[in-house]
Structure 1
C-alpha cells in the first residue's frame, strides 16, 4: 500500500517595518518558527538596511510603502512609532498584507476603528503584539482561572516599579499626545495582562497618573483601579522613576527574562543627567538593530519574563509567578507548576498570526481586543484629568 505523502505547511513570509528596539527584538521569534520566513525590512537607516540584507539575504527598503508593495512579503510586523501605526496599518491592509502591529495600536479610538475596518475590508488578519500577555505564565494563569478549580477570580494585581521614564527616549516617547508616557506604552501591557486573566470585560476605571519630573513631561506613573463586569477588582500600579525596582520582589528576573543586578541604584537617572537630548536620542538608536546596546533576546531569556509583580486571587486560592512557572496557593497546599522556558511571548505572537492565516483559528489579540485595551489607556488618562470614575463601552471578552 502506498504511503500518503504529508502535505507541507505553507510558509508565511514576513517583512519588518522599522528596525528599532521592537523590530529587532522579534527577529529571533521569526527565525524560530518552522514555517515563517524573514524576507524583508524597511528602515531609513542605510547602515541597518545593509546589515539586515547581509545577515538574512533579504530585501530591504527605504520606505514602508515599498515594503508593503513587495511581492515577496505576505505579512508585515509594524514596529514604527505609535503615531504612525494607523498610517502604516492602512498601507499594509490596502496591499493585502497580514499585520502584526506594536502596542498601543493607535492613539484614538477613531483611528483604531479605521485600522479594524481596513483589515476586515481587505480580508487580512491583524494582531496587536501585546507580547507580555502571550507569555506562558500569564496564559497558564488564564487557563487555571477559566477551569474554575480555584473558584471565581476575585482580584488581579500587577505592580511594576522600574526606570522607564529615565531610559534613553526619543521626543515622541515623552509626548502623551503622540502616544508617549507609561500609560500608553506600558499600561497597555498591564491592562492586557489583567483583561486576559479576568476575561476581558472591564466595567469602569478610576485612576490617577503622575508627571513628577517636568524635564520628562509625560506620565511616569499611574495608579489604576479597574472593576470587571463580573464584580472582580484589579489594580495596575506603575512607577518608572528609577528608585525602587520591583525586580527585588521577582527574584531579580526582569521583563526580558534574564536576572539583572539589583545594585545599580539610579543608574538610568544618573545617565540621563549627564547627556543632552540629542545625545539621548543617539544612545536610544544604539539599542536598535545592529547597535552596540541592542538586547540579545535569543540568548537572554533564561527565565519566563516578569512584567512586574502579578498576583491573582480566586475564591479558593492565589496564584503568582515563580522563577520556573507559577506558584499556586490552594486550600490544602501550595505547589509549583513548572513551565517549559523554551517558548516566549514573542513566539506565541507569531504562532497566533500563523494559525489565524493558515489554520483559520480566530486570534485572541485582534483589532477589537486591542481597541478595548486602548479604551482602558484613554480612560485612565481621562479619569486622572477629571478625578472621577470612567465607564467603558468597547470592551470585548476573551475568545479562549
Structure 2
C-alpha cells in the first residue's frame, strides 16, 4: 500500500462476539474503513449487507480476492488461525488475528513465516495489554518515577467456564480452556509490563468439572530475565468474582449488574444439549438476541481482573477514572480519557505499522512468546516442574524505532 494512502480498507472474517465487538472501533477510527466481511452464517451476512455499505462473502478466500481490501481481521476459532492467516498473507493482505495466535508453536512459526515472506504486517489482538490503563502503566514504568518494577500480579475470578461455549472452547487440544483462551490475555499484560522476556514458568492448572473437561483454573508463576516475579491466577468456576475488588467493573467496562449467586453455573447446567449451548453462544454474535450493547451504560476502561504492579517506590493499580498510584508520600489518581479504547489501539497499531512503517509491539513474534507461556504452563502443570522458555522477545522500544 502506498505511504500517501491514508485509509486502510479492512474486511472481517467471522461475525461472532470478537468480530462484532471490533465493528464500533473500525467505524470510529479515522484511518480505517469497514470494507467487507466473510461469514458462513447466511443470516448474519444478510443483516450485515443491510446495515453497511460493504462487500459480503461466504469465505475468507473470496474476501481476500477483493482488490479493494487492504487488511483482514481474523476473528475465527483458534484452530483455523493458521490456515486463515496463510490465505490472507498469500493474498498480500495485512492481518489482525485474534488471540491466541495458534495452538502450537509450529503453527505460529508457519504464520510468522507466511507474513514475512509476503511482506505483510501481522498483528495479534484484541488482547488486554492494548487497553489504555495497561498502556499507561507501562508508560509510568518506563519513566522510572517509581523506580524498578519488582512484582506484577494479575488475578481474575469469574464465570468464564459457564458462559455459553462452543465445543472447541472446551477442548484444550483445540486451544480451549482458560490457560489458552484467558491466559493469553494475562501473559500478554504481564509481559508488556515486565519488559517481555520471561525466563521460566511454573504452573498448576485445574479441571474441576467433568462436564466441562478443560482447564478452568490456573496458578502460574513467572520469573523474568530481569528478575521481576509475576503471578497469573485465573478461576472461571463462577464462585467468587474479582469485580468485588475492582469497583464492580469487569472486562466489558460498564458496572456489573448484581445477579443471583452462581447464575451462570446454574444456567449452563440447565442447558439441554451441546447444540443448545452453541446456539446460545451464537446469539451473542452479530445481530443476535444476546449481542452486548453498552450504549447508555456508564463507561469505564475494562478491568481484566485485579492487576497490581509493585515498584521500588510505589504500587500501581487500576481505578475507575484511570490509575491509582500509591507513592512514597501520597496516594493519587492518574486520570485516563475514556475516549481511547483497546480496540482502537489495535487498529492504530495496524495503521502505524502499515502507513508509518513503525514496528508493532504485538507482532507474530510477540504473540508466539505469549503462546509459549500458555503451552509451557500446561506442560509445567503436567510435569510438576519449572520450565525454561526460549521464544521470548522484549517489548519494542518505540523511541528507538522512531
**TM-score, structure 2 as length reference:** 0.96
Matched, 1:172 2:168: yes
Q: Give how far 1:26 is off.
A: 0.4
Q: Residue 381 of structure 1: CA displacement?
A: 0.2
Among 324, 329, 333, which residue is 2:330 paired with?
333
Decide which of 251, 264, 270 is 1:268's aligned counterpart.
264
Q: 1:335 and 1:245 mapped to 2: Cα distance?
A: 26
Which string of whole-angstrom CA distances, capped at 9 and with x for unpartnered residues, describes residues 123-156 of structure 1? 0000000431011110010011111111110000
Matched, 1:54 2:47: no
Q: 1:382 aligns with which of 362, 379, 384?
A: 379
1:264 Cα deviation after fit: 2.6
CA contact (8 A) 1:157 1:310 kept: yes
Asked if structure 1 preserves the Cα contact closer than 8 Å seen for 2:127 and 2:188, the reply is: no
The alignment partner of 1:14 has SS state of: strand
| Change in CA separation of 1:95 and 1:8 when aligned onto 2, cut-off 3 Å | closer
CA distance in 1, matches of 2:120, 2:284: 31
Deviation for aligned residue 1:297: 5.0
Q: Between 265-274 and 213-222, report the one with greater CA deviation.
A: 265-274
Q: Deviations over 1:34-74 (max 9, x none)?
A: 12110110111111111111111111111111111111210
2:128 is equivalent to residue 132 of structure 1: yes
The Cα of 1:273 is off from its aligned counterpart by 1.3
> 1:68·1:91 contact (CA, 8 Å) conserved in 2?
yes
Paired with 1:320 and 1:14, the residues of 2 have a C-alpha distance of 35
**Could you report, residue by residue, the CA deviation over 1:65-103 in whole angstroms, capped at 9, with x for unpaired residues?**
111111121000000000000000000000000000000
Counterpart in 1 of 2:85?
89
Q: Distance in 2 between matches of 1:387 and 1:225?
A: 12
Deviations 1:239-274 (A, max 9, x none): 000001000111110101010123431111111111
Aligned counterpart, 1:144? 140
In 1: Cα distance, 2:19 partner to 2:352 partner: 21
- Give the alignment partner of residue 311 of structure 2, picking from 305, 314, 318: 314
What is the distance in 2 between the residues matched to 1:299 and 1:35? 26
SS at match of 1:312: strand
List aligned pairs for 1:279-290, cutoff 5 A.
Answer: 279-290=276-287
* Aligned counterpart in structure 2 of residue 366 of structure 1, from 363, 367, 370: 363
The worse-fitting range, judged by mean Cα deviation, of 67-76 and 317-326 is 67-76
8 Å contact from structure 1 (residues 312, 320) kept in 2: yes
Q: Which moved more, 1:263-272 or 1:164-173?
A: 263-272
| Aligned equivalents of 2:34, 2:207: Cα separation in 1 | 40
- Measure the CA separation in 2 of the matches of 1:73 and 1:299: 33
Q: Which runs of 5+ in 2 are unaligned?
A: 398-402
1:100 maps to what in 2?
Answer: 96
Tell me which of 271, 274, 285 is aligned to 1:277.
274
Structure-2 separation of matches of 1:228 and 1:262: 38
What residue is the counterpart of 2:400 in the other structure? none
User: Would the aligned equivalents of 2:255 and 2:298 in 1 still touch at CA under 8 Å?
Assistant: no
Deviation at 1:29, TM superposition (A): 0.5
2:48 match: secondary structure? helix
Mapping 1:1-400, distance limit 5 Å: 10-275=6-271, 276-296=273-293, 302-400=299-397
TM-score if structure 1 supplies the norm length?
Answer: 0.97
**Deviation above 3 Å: which 4+ runs of structure 1?**
297-301
Corresponding residue SS for 1:89: helix
SS of the residue aligned with 2:237? Answer: coil
